[in-house]
Structure formats: C-alpha cells, structure tokens
C-alpha cells in the first residue's frame, strides 16, 4: 500500500483538490506573476481573497448581518484569553468542563474574573458530555467546547442559555455540520482541523458583544478594533486565509454543510460500528456523546495498542496514536477524510483483529 491516510488530530488532512489548486498557483496567483504569499494584504487581489472567504463562510453557515466574521492569529489558545478580556471584565462567567481544551479555557478565564463551573465530566475522565447545568444568575456568558479531540466527545445539541450569550470553542468541529448561528454569542475556531492550515483563527461574534466589550484593551486583543478594521488592522496571515477560502469553495462544491454533515455521519457510523461489533476494540466515549470528528478507542493492552499503531502506520494509516495525555488510539476523521480512507481503516482494523484474536 503506497497511499497515506492521514488521521492526525490537527494540523490535519486537507482536501486534495485544495492542495492541488494551491500548488498550481503557488508561483503565479491570479495571473500576477507573483505568489499569494508575496502580495500586499491591502492589494485588491488579497482584498478579494479575504472578502470571498468571509462571504462563503456567511453563506455556508448562514451567518446573519449582525455578526462580525474575523480572521485572527494565535489559535484558540489566544481566544481563551481574549474572550474574558473582552467580555468578562471582572464579572462571572459559566464554563462547562468537558476535557483538556475546556480546562485550558477555564484556566485563562480565571485571570480575568470569576469562573463558575456549570457542569463537568471530569468525574468519569471526560468520557461524556454533561446534560445538567447549574448556570449562574448573572453570568456574562456561558462557555463550552463543542468537541473535545482528546476524549472524543461532542455536544450533539447545545444547552439553552436563555439571554446569556453562548460562547463556543468549535476548533475541532466547525463546518462539520449545520448550525443555527443565532443561538451563539461568539464562536471561535483554530483553522487547523476542518478549515485550513494552522495560523489563522476564525471568530464569529455578535455585534452586541462587540459593543459591550472592554474598551481599554491593547489593540491586538480587542474584538472591537479587529471588527472595525475587518481583520486588517495589521498584516493578517494571508496564505492561511487564502487556503481557508479554497476549503470553503470546496465545501460549497460538495453541496454545503447538509451534505458534509451526512457524509461525516456516515464515516463516523462506519468506524463506531466496527468498534461496537468487535471484541478487540473498545470505544472510550459515552455512546450518545461520541464525536463525529475524533473516534477514540482502546485495545486490551498498551502493548497491543502499540502494535496496532505501528502496523497501521506501516500500512499507510498515520496519526492513529491517542493524545499523549490519555494514550490509546484515535482516528480523526475531519471533513477532508474521504470515505475510502475510513473504509480502508475499517478493513485494516478487522484484519488486525483476526490476526490478534
């Protein structure tokens, strides 16, 4: 087998068509005789790229006019701080603790105000999504992580937070399914799973939150400024934004998010079905909360897991090692993973089970 199937959790697989287009025009963007990396972020050619990216995103996610779409730097980790810096201002925010990513967000928020844990699944090693929440009466916002890449759990529906803005880290499942944007105050996502390469972070924020945000912040940490400047206060990560634009066009070509969602459901079902019908593999996430993006599973021993990962790699399946903090195995099957890749993995898993029964 010469083909490589990429199951990395992130940076992760990107659509082959996108990579090929990027390669084709890498030395000559838009017949300019220059690379997209070599042109001014204020040129009309790059302006068209970033504006098209925003328009496509608004179309695909049906983002209303009263939300700003920002392309920032620093990853979700920078958002962990920017959110409380802009929105908390010494008040209280409710956080739902579902794993390592939620915990990182909580840790940073505590530097800027009071954090109330409205629910947690830490009691069972973050293997499920809580369904009961104790929200504060005066929270500035409620924060949650829609998909935890390490535990392999995902919110299938979102809690009703009433008038309190819901702030969601969607780094690992943005654009993987349909969303009702009006239910959220702020959505953020590092690009490097479903959207593009590492180095650009998407923020979708309701204008009410921008208006209410702190006004004494340093420029680069102010949502207000980035919204006013349409993500061009300083030089943005132009190449990463260009790839995001290509990925959005690719999603559009697939038929939009309804098609992507159906496709992702099919891929995840195929893998979970294999796990559920096996005596060798054991899923780690509660069935109702299983992630459609990161399928986590264990084998009967760490030795066997190591053997599985090594033989899989040999056969062309890379990135199947679970996160170093929890061990085990993980197959990340983001949008760009073709059905063929999941089928091939499932066949490999069955053959490995037969050989190691």
Q: Which residues bind its own copies (CB under 8 A)?
A: 2-4, 6, 8-14, 16, 19-20, 22-23, 26-27, 32-35, 37-43, 73-78, 80-81, 85, 104, 107-108, 111-112, 190, 192, 197-200, 216, 218-221, 233-240, 243, 316, 318-319, 324
Minimum CB separation from its own copies for residue 144, in Å? 19
Minimum CB separation from its own copies for residue 172, in Å? 11
Spatial CA neighbour of 71 closest among 236, 311, 261: 236
Minimum CB separation from its own copies for residue 51, in Å? 17
How far apart CA 211 and CA 249 sit, in angstroms, is 31
Minimum CB separation from its own copies for residue 31, in Å? 10
Token pair of 292, please?
Answer: 């459609």
Helix (H, G, I), strand (E, B) or coil at 105: helix
Per the CB < 8 A criterion, the answer to whether 164 and 145 are in contact is no
Minimum CB separation from its own copies for residue 182, in Å? 30
Cα 109 from chain centroid? Answer: 20
Q: Which residue's CB is nearer to its own copies, number 220 or number 346?
A: 220
Alpha-carbon Rg for the chain in angstroms: 21
Burial class of residue 117 in the structure, from the number of CB atoms within 10 Å of its CB (0-12 exposed, 13-18 middle, 19+ buried): middle
Per the CB < 8 A criterion, the answer to whether 248 and 57 are in contact is yes
Spatial CA neighbour of 335 closest among 244, 241, 205: 244
Helix (H, G, I), strand (E, B) or coil at 298: strand
Q: Which residue's CB is nearer to its own copies, number 111 or number 258?
A: 111
Q: Which residue's CB is nearer to its own copies, number 74 or number 256?
A: 74
Burial 216-233 (b: 16+ CB within 10 A, else e): eeeeebbbbbbbeebbee
Catalytic residues: 101, 169, 193
Q: Which residue's CB is nearer to its own copies, number 101 or number 272?
A: 101
- Degrees to nearest 5, angle at CA 270 with 264 and 274: 150
HSE value, Cβ hemisphere, 13 Å, CA-based, for 238: 21
Minimum CB separation from its own copies for residue 107, in Å? 8
Cα 254 from chain centroid? Answer: 19
Burial class of residue 201 in the structure, from the number of CB atoms within 10 Å of its CB (0-12 exposed, 13-18 middle, 19+ buried): buried
Q: Which residue's CB is nearer to its own copies, number 256 or number 316?
A: 316
**Strand 282-283 to 329-332 pairing:** unpaired
Minimum CB separation from its own copies for residue 237, in Å? 3
Helices (H), 98-222: 100-109, 207-212
Q: Which residue's CB is nearer to its own copies, number 193 or number 206?
A: 193
Q: Which residue's CB is nearer to its own copies, number 41 or number 58?
A: 41
Secondary structure, 3-state, 303-322: HHHHHHHHHHHHCCEECCEC
């Amino acid at each position: 087998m010469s083909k490589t199937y990429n199951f990395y959790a992130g940076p992760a697989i990107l659509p082959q068509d996108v990579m090929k287009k990027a390669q084709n025009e890498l030395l000559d963007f838009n017949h300019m005789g220059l690379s997209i990396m070599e042109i001014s972020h204020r040129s009309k050619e790059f302006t068209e790229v970033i504006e098209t990216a925003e328009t496509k995103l608004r179309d695909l996610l049906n983002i209303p006019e009263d939300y700003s779409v920002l392309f920032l730097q620093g990853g979700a980790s920078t958002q962990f701080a920017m959110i409380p810096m802009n929105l908390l201002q010494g008040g209280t925010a409710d956080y739902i603790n579902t794993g390592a990513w939620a915990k990182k967000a909580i840790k940073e928020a505590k530097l800027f105000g009071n954090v109330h844990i409205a629910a947690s699944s830490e009691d069972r090693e973050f293997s499920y999504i809580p369904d009961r929440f104790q929200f504060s009466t005066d929270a500035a916002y409620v924060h949650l992580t829609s998909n935890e890449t390490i535990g392999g759990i995902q919110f299938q529906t979102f809690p009703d937070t009433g008038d309190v803005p819901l702030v969601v880290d969607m780094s690992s499942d943005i654009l993987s399914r349909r969303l009702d944007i009006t239910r959220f105050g702020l959505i953020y996502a590092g690009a490097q799973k479903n959207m593009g390469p590492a180095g650009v972070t998407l923020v979708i924020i309701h204008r009410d939150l921008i208006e209410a945000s702190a006004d004494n912040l340093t420029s680069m940490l102010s949502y207000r400024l980035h919204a006013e400047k349409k993500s061009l206060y300083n030089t943005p990560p132009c190449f990463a934004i260009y790839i995001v634009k290509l990925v959005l066009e690719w999603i559009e070509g697939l038929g939009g998010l309804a098609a992507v969602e159906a496709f992702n459901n099919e891929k995840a079902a195929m893998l979970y079905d294999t796990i559920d019908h096996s005596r060798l593999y054991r899923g780690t996430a509660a069935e109702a909360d299983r992630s459609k993006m990161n399928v986590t599973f264990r084998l009967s021993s760490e030795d066997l897991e190591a053997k599985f990962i090594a033989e899989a790699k040999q056969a062309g399946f890379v990135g199947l090692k679970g996160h170093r903090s929890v061990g085990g195995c993980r197959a990340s099957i983001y949008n760009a993973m073709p059905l063929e890749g999941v089928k091939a993995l499932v066949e490999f898993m069955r053959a490995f089970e037969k050989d190691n029964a």
